[in-house]
Amino acid sequence: MTPLPLLWLPILVSAVFVFIAANLLWMALPFWHRKDYHRLGNEGTILGALRDVRSGQYVAPMMDWKNTTPEQRAEAQKGPMATIIVRNPGTFSFPATLLKYFIFLIVVSTFVAYLTGVTLAPGTDYMRVFRVAGTAGVLAYAFNSIADSIWYGKPWSVTFKTVIDGVIFGLLIAGTFGWLWPR
């Protein structure tokens, strides 16, 4: 077992590496995530309709399926259906969001450190640390989007890229923990 305080350096460095990789994948590589989102043709009308909606997560049409008549179900199945996240008012602070994201990365790396630390002792060889930390890192990052494709219709092409991103992040965590594992 390796105590968590001994793992502060791999936690911090792996969070920095994943932060850099995520920003490169999302901002510096125009072919990767740039086309994941599309513009609505009637964007102004839709935004106008959402102007007085408070921030939150919505689904439309909102139905209680167990109390829905067959006619209502048939009408809903004709579509469209939508899952909407509304940020209203539309304030957005890029620096604050990046800070929150970095804190999230530190939390994930801390859980990876905990799992790896309770599994392996100081002085464990690089490849064993790589396997345990990498598996935990891939699990933390790669599969979170699959349920969105299953339940909400998120395009599978976007999910596929998110899984690849997660594998990259998991490998970065694996390499960092293997490299900086206490001897």
47 belongs to a structural domain: no
Residue 147 counted as domain residue: yes
What integer pLDDT is reported at residue 87 of this predicted model? 87
**Residue 86: strand pairing partners:** 56
Helix (H, G, I), strand (E, B) or coil at 86: strand
**pLDDT at 134 (0 to 100):** 98
pLDDT, residue 89, reads 80
Residue 176 in any domain: the answer is yes
**Which pLDDT belongs to residue 63?**
85
Provide the pLDDT for residue 12.
98
| 50-106 residue pLDDT tens | 999 998 999 888 888 888 888 888 888 888 888 899 988 877 899 999 999 999 999
φ/ψ (deg, to 5) at 57: -115, 130
Within a domain: 53: no
In which band, very low, low, confident or very high, does the pLDDT at 152 lie, cut at 50, 70 and 90? confident
Domain assignment present for residue 74? The answer is no
pLDDT band at 17, cuts 50/70/90? very high
Is 140 within the bounds of a domain?
A: yes
The pLDDT tens digits for 113-134 are 999 999 999 999 999 999 999 9
pLDDT number for residue 117:
98
The whole-number average pLDDT for the span 12-29 is 96
**How high is the pLDDT of residue 66?**
84
Give the chain's domain count.
1
Instruction: Specify the pLDDT at position 140.
Output: 96
Q: How far is CA 159 from the centre of its chain?
A: 10
In this predicted structure, what is the pLDDT of residue 172?
A: 98
Q: CA 132, CA 178: separation in Å to the nearest integer?
A: 9
- Are the beta carbons of 119 and 181 closer than 8 angstroms? no
Share of the chain above pLDDT 70, in %: 100
Query: Whole domain around residue 159: which residue ranges?
Result: 4-38+93-180
Per-residue confidence (pLDDT) for residue 141, from 0 to 100: 96
- Residue 33 DSSP one-character state: S
In 3D, which of 10, 20, 29 has the Cα closest to residue 102?
20
Task: State the Cα–Cα distance between residues 151 and 14, nearest whole angstrom.
Answer: 31
3-state secondary structure 34-85: CCCCCCCCCHHHHHHHHCCCCCEEEEECCCCHHHCCHHHHHHHHCCCCEEEE
